[in-house]
């Protein structure tokens, strides 16, 4: 199959391309960060007038996975118009254009659409209540995509992995600081469900192959605090977990509001796929193996210096 990835230089996009390029023809959309990538690159700014239609007509993909977003929460607070264009308006355009061309669409959303006030986990039936500009524009992007294209997949995700810059994921944050013996904090009162980005990619392709559509939680099946996540990284890499200080997010000083509870149920996805989702330990083992095999250096070699 021919698979078009927007936001291909991002954390999910790049790992997705790397994961699937042996099985599928990968075409990535990038504004110029990537050089010598082992898959085809179309250099475009998706926000340019007519860009969406011209890209789809040039690539003629079977599947499109939209990983493009303004994902930095504080940047979204500072640039709400840009956040709306990338996180709401672009998904609407892509969904409409894909429906017109009979292209199967996956739109990547976020667990952050919930306010975290619920006791226990969130299902796809729970009503979102976004706390900031990022979460609000992503929620509106979900609605826009499914309104324009009800057969599209909207995937709420939370992933980690090795990135182009080496600084894009929470796992890299802990790893980078721990390997330099720098002290850092880990939030004990923020719960989330991390999944290795490569596992996210594999699941999304399975969903496309099955012809699934609608809203799904595509996150890890195990909920944990961000402090616990850091400790697990330290233990896996035989680094000093004592360098991670337990801390409450109340004292973080972060600008944009964050949800404390992002525990998402994956029952709908595992039921519709007919299989259990990969355990956190399985993803962490693979993350460690990637490091041993030089995977981080390989993907960073695609970067424009």
Helix (H) / strand (E) element for 71: namely: none
Strands 191-192 and 224-225: antiparallel
Question: What pTM value is reported for the model?
Answer: 0.95
The dihedral of CA 254, 257, 260, 263: what is its sign? negative
Instruction: Supply angle C-alpha 131, 163, 229, rounded to 5.
Output: 60
Q: Consecutive 10-residue runs of the chain (305 residues): their mean pLDDT?
A: 96 97 96 89 93 96 97 93 98 98 98 94 96 96 98 98 93 96 92 98 98 98 97 97 91 72 97 97 98 96 79
Q: What is the pLDDT of residue 304?
A: 67
Cα–Cα nearest to 84, from 64, 70, 98, 97: 70
Contact (CB, 8 A) for 257 and 132: yes
Contact (CB, 8 A) for 269 and 178: no
Q: What is the pLDDT of residue 255?
A: 64
Domains of the chain: 2-300 (3.40.50.720)
CB-neighbour burial class of residue 242 (10 A; exposed 0-12, middle 13-18, buried 19+): exposed
Q: What is the pLDDT of residue 33?
A: 83
Contact (CB, 8 A) for 10 and 28: no
Give the C-alpha separation, 279 to 63, whole Å: 27
Q: What is the pLDDT of residue 228?
A: 97
Contact (CB, 8 A) for 69 and 87: yes
């Amino acid at each position: 199959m021919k698979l078009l990835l927007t936001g291909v230089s991002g954390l999910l996009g790049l790992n997705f391309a790397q994961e699937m390029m042996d099985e599928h023809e990968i075409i990535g959309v990038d504004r110029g960060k990537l050089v010598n990538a082992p898959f085809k690159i179309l250099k475009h700014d998706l926000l340019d007038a007519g860009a969406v239609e011209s890209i789809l007509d040039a690539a003629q993909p079977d599947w499109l996975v939209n990983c493009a977003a303004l994902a930095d929460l504080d940047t979204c607070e500072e640039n709400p118009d840009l956040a709306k264009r990338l996180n709401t308006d672009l998904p609407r355009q892509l969904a409409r254009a894909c429906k017109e061309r009979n292209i199967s669409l996956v739109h990547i959303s976020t667990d952050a659409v919930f306010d975290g006030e619920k006791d226990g986990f969130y299902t796809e039936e729970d009503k979102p209540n976004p706390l900031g500009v990022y979460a609000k524009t992503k929620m509106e992007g979900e609605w826009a995509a499914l309104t324009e294209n009800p057969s599209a997949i909207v995937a709420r995700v939370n992933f980690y992995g090795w990135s182009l810059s080496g600084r894009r994921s929470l796992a890299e944050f802990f790893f980078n600081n721990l390997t330099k013996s720098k002290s850092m904090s880990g939030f004990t009162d923020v719960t989330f469900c991390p999944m290795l980005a490569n596992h996210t990619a594999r699941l999304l392709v399975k969903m496309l192959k099955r012809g699934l559509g609608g809203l799904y939680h595509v996150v890890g099946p195990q909920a944990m605090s961000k402090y616990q996540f850091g400790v697990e990284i330290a233990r896996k890499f035989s680094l000093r977990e004592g360098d991670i200080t337990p801390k409450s997010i109340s004292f973080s000083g972060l600008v944009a509001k964050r949800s404390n509870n992002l525990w998402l149920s994956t029952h709908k996805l595992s039921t519709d796929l007919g299989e259990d989702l990969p355990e956190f330990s399985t993803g962490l083992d693979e993350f460690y193996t990637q490091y041993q095999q030089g995977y981080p250096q390989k993907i960073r070699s695609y970067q424009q210096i």
